[in-house]
Structure 1
Amino acid sequence: MRCALVLALLTPVAASAGSFQIECPATLMVKSTAAAPSGWQIVESPEPHVLDHVGLYRGNPSDLQSSVPETTDERQGRSKDVWTFDATEKMWAACFYTGTSLFTAMPVPQGVTRCEALYGSPRKGEKSGLIAARCE
Protein backbone atom coordinates (compact mmCIF):
# COMPACT_ATOMS: atom_id res chain seq x y z
CA MET A 1 0.00 0.00 0.00
CA ARG A 2 1.23 3.49 -0.78
CA CYS A 3 0.30 6.70 1.10
CA ALA A 4 1.45 10.25 2.47
CA LEU A 5 0.46 14.63 2.33
CA VAL A 6 0.52 18.07 -0.17
CA LEU A 7 3.13 20.74 -1.27
CA ALA A 8 4.18 21.63 -4.86
CA LEU A 9 2.84 20.95 -8.38
CA LEU A 10 2.24 18.03 -10.72
CA THR A 11 2.26 19.06 -14.34
CA PRO A 12 -0.11 17.21 -16.65
CA VAL A 13 1.14 17.27 -20.22
CA ALA A 14 -1.41 16.59 -22.95
CA ALA A 15 -0.52 13.37 -24.76
CA SER A 16 -3.64 12.99 -26.91
CA ALA A 17 -7.34 13.76 -26.68
CA GLY A 18 -8.58 12.53 -23.30
CA SER A 19 -5.23 11.41 -21.87
CA PHE A 20 -2.29 12.99 -20.10
CA GLN A 21 1.04 12.09 -18.52
CA ILE A 22 1.54 12.80 -14.82
CA GLU A 23 4.89 14.60 -14.77
CA CYS A 24 5.95 14.61 -11.11
CA PRO A 25 8.76 16.88 -9.95
CA ALA A 26 11.82 14.64 -9.49
CA THR A 27 12.64 16.07 -6.05
CA LEU A 28 10.99 18.08 -3.31
CA MET A 29 12.85 20.49 -1.04
CA VAL A 30 11.33 20.50 2.46
CA LYS A 31 12.06 22.94 5.29
CA SER A 32 11.32 21.30 8.65
CA THR A 33 11.02 22.60 12.19
CA ALA A 34 11.26 20.57 15.37
CA ALA A 35 11.88 21.03 19.08
CA ALA A 36 15.03 19.18 20.15
CA PRO A 37 14.79 17.05 23.28
CA SER A 38 17.08 18.12 26.13
CA GLY A 39 20.72 17.41 25.28
CA TRP A 40 20.01 16.94 21.55
CA GLN A 41 20.46 19.18 18.53
CA ILE A 42 18.26 19.26 15.41
CA VAL A 43 20.23 19.03 12.18
CA GLU A 44 18.54 19.34 8.79
CA SER A 45 19.91 17.50 5.78
CA PRO A 46 20.39 19.68 2.68
CA GLU A 47 19.45 16.70 0.50
CA PRO A 48 16.15 16.94 -1.43
CA HIS A 49 13.48 14.29 -1.07
CA VAL A 50 13.38 12.04 -4.17
CA LEU A 51 10.23 11.01 -6.04
CA ASP A 52 9.04 7.60 -4.85
CA HIS A 53 5.55 6.80 -6.18
CA VAL A 54 2.22 8.10 -7.47
CA GLY A 55 -1.18 7.78 -5.81
CA LEU A 56 -4.75 8.93 -6.33
CA TYR A 57 -7.29 10.57 -4.03
CA ARG A 58 -11.07 10.66 -4.21
CA GLY A 59 -11.63 14.38 -3.70
CA ASN A 60 -9.16 16.91 -2.35
CA PRO A 61 -6.15 15.21 -0.69
CA SER A 62 -6.65 17.35 2.42
CA ASP A 63 -9.66 15.08 3.11
CA LEU A 64 -7.25 12.09 3.19
CA GLN A 65 -9.43 9.77 1.07
CA SER A 66 -6.63 7.89 -0.70
CA SER A 67 -7.62 5.38 -3.34
CA VAL A 68 -5.97 1.95 -3.36
CA PRO A 69 -5.03 0.64 -6.84
CA GLU A 70 -7.59 -1.86 -8.10
CA THR A 71 -4.85 -4.00 -9.59
CA THR A 72 -1.10 -4.32 -9.23
CA ASP A 73 0.57 -6.40 -11.90
CA GLU A 74 4.18 -7.54 -11.31
CA ARG A 75 6.27 -9.03 -14.13
CA GLN A 76 9.95 -9.20 -15.01
CA GLY A 77 11.11 -6.74 -12.35
CA ARG A 78 8.40 -4.20 -13.14
CA SER A 79 5.04 -3.49 -11.59
CA LYS A 80 2.00 -1.53 -12.70
CA ASP A 81 -0.68 -0.03 -10.44
CA VAL A 82 -4.06 0.61 -12.07
CA TRP A 83 -6.96 2.70 -10.75
CA THR A 84 -10.37 2.94 -12.44
CA PHE A 85 -13.16 5.27 -11.41
CA ASP A 86 -16.33 6.95 -12.63
CA ALA A 87 -15.83 9.92 -14.99
CA THR A 88 -17.88 12.14 -12.67
CA GLU A 89 -15.64 11.54 -9.61
CA LYS A 90 -13.35 14.38 -8.59
CA MET A 91 -10.00 12.58 -8.48
CA TRP A 92 -6.62 14.04 -7.57
CA ALA A 93 -3.20 12.69 -8.58
CA ALA A 94 -0.40 12.86 -6.01
CA CYS A 95 3.38 12.41 -6.16
CA PHE A 96 5.03 11.01 -3.03
CA TYR A 97 8.66 11.51 -1.97
CA THR A 98 11.08 9.53 0.17
CA GLY A 99 11.63 10.62 3.76
CA THR A 100 8.73 13.08 4.08
CA SER A 101 4.99 13.06 4.68
CA LEU A 102 4.60 15.98 2.26
CA PHE A 103 3.54 15.35 -1.33
CA THR A 104 2.52 17.25 -4.45
CA ALA A 105 -1.03 16.99 -5.82
CA MET A 106 -3.43 18.36 -8.42
CA PRO A 107 -6.90 17.52 -9.74
CA VAL A 108 -7.27 14.92 -12.49
CA PRO A 109 -9.18 16.39 -15.47
CA GLN A 110 -12.92 15.67 -15.50
CA GLY A 111 -13.89 12.73 -17.70
CA VAL A 112 -10.79 10.63 -16.94
CA THR A 113 -11.70 7.09 -15.85
CA ARG A 114 -8.38 5.23 -15.58
CA CYS A 115 -4.86 5.97 -14.33
CA GLU A 116 -1.80 3.74 -14.19
CA ALA A 117 1.71 3.99 -12.79
CA LEU A 118 4.61 1.85 -14.05
CA TYR A 119 7.48 1.04 -11.67
CA GLY A 120 10.80 -0.69 -12.21
CA SER A 121 14.26 0.03 -13.53
CA PRO A 122 14.18 1.74 -16.92
CA ARG A 123 17.75 0.51 -17.54
CA LYS A 124 19.67 -2.42 -16.14
CA GLY A 125 21.55 -1.55 -12.96
CA GLU A 126 19.37 1.47 -12.08
CA LYS A 127 17.39 1.62 -8.85
CA SER A 128 13.75 0.61 -9.16
CA GLY A 129 11.29 3.51 -9.11
CA LEU A 130 8.52 5.29 -10.96
CA ILE A 131 9.04 5.10 -14.73
CA ALA A 132 5.82 6.75 -15.93
CA ALA A 133 2.28 7.59 -14.86
CA ARG A 134 -0.63 8.42 -17.14
CA CYS A 135 -4.38 8.78 -17.12
CA GLU A 136 -7.04 8.52 -19.80
Structure 2
Amino acid sequence: MRKFAFLLMVLTAMSPALAFELNCPSSLSIKQRVDSLPQGWSSWSRAPSGQTGDPSSQETVAKIPVDRVELYAGVPSEANADDLPPLGGYGDGDRAKHRYSWDLSKEPNQQFYAACLYGHSDIRLVQALPQGVKKCTAVYIGNGPQLSLRCDKPGKR
Protein backbone atom coordinates (compact mmCIF):
# COMPACT_ATOMS: atom_id res chain seq x y z
CA MET A 1 0.00 0.00 0.00
CA ARG A 2 2.86 2.40 0.82
CA LYS A 3 4.47 1.67 -2.55
CA PHE A 4 1.23 2.49 -4.33
CA ALA A 5 0.81 5.76 -2.40
CA PHE A 6 4.44 6.71 -3.13
CA LEU A 7 4.04 5.88 -6.85
CA LEU A 8 0.83 7.92 -7.03
CA MET A 9 2.58 10.87 -5.35
CA VAL A 10 5.52 10.70 -7.81
CA LEU A 11 3.25 10.45 -10.87
CA THR A 12 1.15 13.37 -9.67
CA ALA A 13 4.24 15.51 -9.12
CA MET A 14 5.60 14.73 -12.59
CA SER A 15 2.38 15.24 -14.53
CA PRO A 16 1.41 18.60 -15.97
CA ALA A 17 -0.76 20.68 -13.69
CA LEU A 18 -3.66 22.76 -14.96
CA ALA A 19 -2.51 26.31 -14.45
CA PHE A 20 -5.18 28.35 -16.16
CA GLU A 21 -8.54 28.05 -17.88
CA LEU A 22 -10.09 30.89 -19.84
CA ASN A 23 -13.66 30.76 -21.14
CA CYS A 24 -14.37 33.19 -23.95
CA PRO A 25 -17.79 34.85 -23.70
CA SER A 26 -19.97 32.99 -26.24
CA SER A 27 -21.09 36.23 -27.88
CA LEU A 28 -20.74 40.01 -27.69
CA SER A 29 -23.32 42.72 -28.19
CA ILE A 30 -21.87 45.39 -30.43
CA LYS A 31 -23.18 48.68 -31.78
CA GLN A 32 -23.06 49.30 -35.51
CA ARG A 33 -23.50 52.57 -37.35
CA VAL A 34 -22.88 53.74 -40.90
CA ASP A 35 -20.30 56.52 -40.67
CA SER A 36 -20.23 57.67 -44.28
CA LEU A 37 -22.94 56.74 -46.74
CA PRO A 38 -21.69 56.50 -50.36
CA GLN A 39 -23.38 58.90 -52.76
CA GLY A 40 -26.52 57.45 -54.32
CA TRP A 41 -27.04 54.86 -51.59
CA SER A 42 -29.46 54.67 -48.69
CA SER A 43 -29.22 52.34 -45.73
CA TRP A 44 -31.40 50.47 -43.31
CA SER A 45 -30.88 47.62 -40.87
CA ARG A 46 -32.90 44.77 -39.47
CA ALA A 47 -32.13 43.33 -36.06
CA PRO A 48 -32.64 39.58 -35.48
CA SER A 49 -35.75 40.59 -33.51
CA GLY A 50 -37.18 42.12 -36.71
CA GLN A 51 -36.83 45.75 -35.62
CA THR A 52 -35.71 48.00 -38.47
CA GLY A 53 -33.91 51.32 -38.44
CA ASP A 54 -31.61 53.72 -40.25
CA PRO A 55 -28.00 52.86 -39.27
CA SER A 56 -26.75 56.23 -40.55
CA SER A 57 -28.75 58.08 -37.90
CA GLN A 58 -28.90 55.51 -35.09
CA GLU A 59 -26.78 52.74 -33.70
CA THR A 60 -28.09 49.22 -34.00
CA VAL A 61 -27.12 46.46 -31.61
CA ALA A 62 -25.93 43.15 -33.01
CA LYS A 63 -24.86 39.98 -31.25
CA ILE A 64 -21.79 38.32 -32.72
CA PRO A 65 -20.62 34.81 -31.72
CA VAL A 66 -17.13 33.82 -30.62
CA ASP A 67 -15.20 32.47 -33.59
CA ARG A 68 -11.76 31.39 -32.39
CA VAL A 69 -8.92 32.15 -30.01
CA GLU A 70 -5.46 33.44 -30.90
CA LEU A 71 -2.33 33.42 -28.75
CA TYR A 72 0.25 36.20 -28.81
CA ALA A 73 3.81 36.59 -27.57
CA GLY A 74 3.64 40.13 -26.21
CA VAL A 75 0.76 42.57 -25.81
CA PRO A 76 -1.52 42.02 -28.85
CA SER A 77 -2.27 45.73 -29.32
CA GLU A 78 1.43 46.54 -29.71
CA ALA A 79 3.08 46.37 -33.12
CA ASN A 80 5.86 44.02 -31.99
CA ALA A 81 3.52 41.29 -30.65
CA ASP A 82 3.73 37.96 -32.48
CA ASP A 83 0.55 36.11 -33.44
CA LEU A 84 1.38 32.48 -32.66
CA PRO A 85 -0.25 29.96 -34.99
CA PRO A 86 -1.36 26.71 -33.34
CA LEU A 87 0.56 23.51 -34.00
CA GLY A 88 -0.41 22.47 -37.52
CA GLY A 89 -2.00 25.84 -38.29
CA TYR A 90 -5.70 26.72 -38.38
CA GLY A 91 -6.68 23.84 -40.69
CA ASP A 92 -10.28 22.70 -40.94
CA GLY A 93 -9.30 19.23 -39.77
CA ASP A 94 -8.28 20.57 -36.38
CA ARG A 95 -11.47 22.63 -36.07
CA ALA A 96 -13.48 19.51 -36.91
CA LYS A 97 -11.74 17.81 -33.97
CA HIS A 98 -12.78 20.83 -31.88
CA ARG A 99 -9.29 21.69 -30.63
CA TYR A 100 -6.06 23.54 -31.39
CA SER A 101 -2.83 23.41 -29.36
CA TRP A 102 0.16 25.66 -28.82
CA ASP A 103 3.59 24.71 -27.45
CA LEU A 104 4.89 27.74 -25.57
CA SER A 105 7.82 26.04 -23.84
CA LYS A 106 10.46 27.44 -26.24
CA GLU A 107 10.06 30.96 -24.80
CA PRO A 108 9.92 30.47 -21.00
CA ASN A 109 10.40 34.17 -20.13
CA GLN A 110 7.85 35.52 -22.62
CA GLN A 111 4.52 36.97 -21.52
CA PHE A 112 1.72 35.34 -23.54
CA TYR A 113 -1.79 36.64 -24.17
CA ALA A 114 -5.00 35.00 -25.33
CA ALA A 115 -7.43 36.86 -27.58
CA CYS A 116 -11.01 35.71 -28.20
CA LEU A 117 -12.11 36.71 -31.72
CA TYR A 118 -15.71 37.37 -32.67
CA GLY A 119 -17.32 36.46 -36.01
CA HIS A 120 -17.06 38.86 -38.94
CA SER A 121 -15.42 41.58 -36.86
CA ASP A 122 -11.99 42.78 -35.81
CA ILE A 123 -12.99 42.74 -32.14
CA ARG A 124 -10.83 40.79 -29.71
CA LEU A 125 -11.18 40.33 -25.97
CA VAL A 126 -7.69 39.95 -24.51
CA GLN A 127 -6.35 38.41 -21.31
CA ALA A 128 -2.77 37.78 -20.11
CA LEU A 129 -1.83 34.16 -19.44
CA PRO A 130 -0.02 33.28 -16.21
CA GLN A 131 3.77 33.39 -16.40
CA GLY A 132 5.38 29.98 -16.99
CA VAL A 133 2.60 28.47 -19.12
CA LYS A 134 4.06 25.72 -21.33
CA LYS A 135 1.16 24.39 -23.41
CA CYS A 136 -2.34 25.62 -24.23
CA THR A 137 -5.24 23.88 -25.94
CA ALA A 138 -8.34 25.64 -27.26
CA VAL A 139 -11.44 23.47 -27.01
CA TYR A 140 -14.61 24.22 -28.98
CA ILE A 141 -17.76 22.78 -27.42
CA GLY A 142 -20.99 22.27 -29.31
CA ASN A 143 -22.62 24.66 -31.72
CA GLY A 144 -23.13 27.34 -29.02
CA PRO A 145 -20.35 28.10 -29.66
CA GLN A 146 -18.42 27.74 -26.43
CA LEU A 147 -14.68 28.13 -26.45
CA SER A 148 -12.29 27.51 -23.60
CA LEU A 149 -8.52 27.72 -23.45
CA ARG A 150 -6.82 25.31 -21.08
CA CYS A 151 -3.17 25.90 -20.28
CA ASP A 152 -0.71 23.97 -18.16
CA LYS A 153 2.83 24.19 -16.91
CA PRO A 154 5.05 21.41 -15.60
CA GLY A 155 4.20 20.11 -12.16
CA LYS A 156 6.57 20.70 -9.25
CA ARG A 157 9.33 18.16 -8.95
TM over 0.5: yes
> How many residue pairs are counted as aligned between the two chains?
115
Relative to its length, the structure with more helix (as a share) is: 2
Identity %: 28
Contact 2:31 2:62 survives alignment (8 Å): no
Task: Classify 1:27/1:129 alpha carbon distance in 2 versus 1 (closer, same or farther; 3 Å).
Answer: closer
Give yes or no for the alignment of 1:23 onto 2:40.
no
Match of 2:121 among 100, 124, 127: 100
Give yes or no for the alignment of 1:65 onto 2:82.
yes
Task: Classify 1:55/1:99 alpha carbon distance in 2 versus 1 (closer, same or farther; 3 Å).
Answer: same
Contact 1:52 1:130 survives alignment (8 Å): no
Q: AA paired with 1:93?
A: A
Q: AA paired with 2:130?
A: P
Corresponding residue for residue 87 of structure 1? 108
Task: Classify 1:55/1:130 alpha carbon distance in 2 versus 1 (closer, same or farther; 3 Å).
Answer: farther
CA distances 1:79-106 after superposition (whole Å, capped 9, x unpaired): 3211111331111001000121011001
TM-score by length of 2: 0.61
- Unpaired segments of 5 or more residues in structure 1? 1-16
Tell me the SS of whatever aligns to 2:115.
strand
- Unpaired segments of 5 or more residues in structure 2? 1-16, 44-54, 153-157
Two-structure CA RMSD over aligned residues (Å) = 2.7
TM-score by length of 1: 0.69
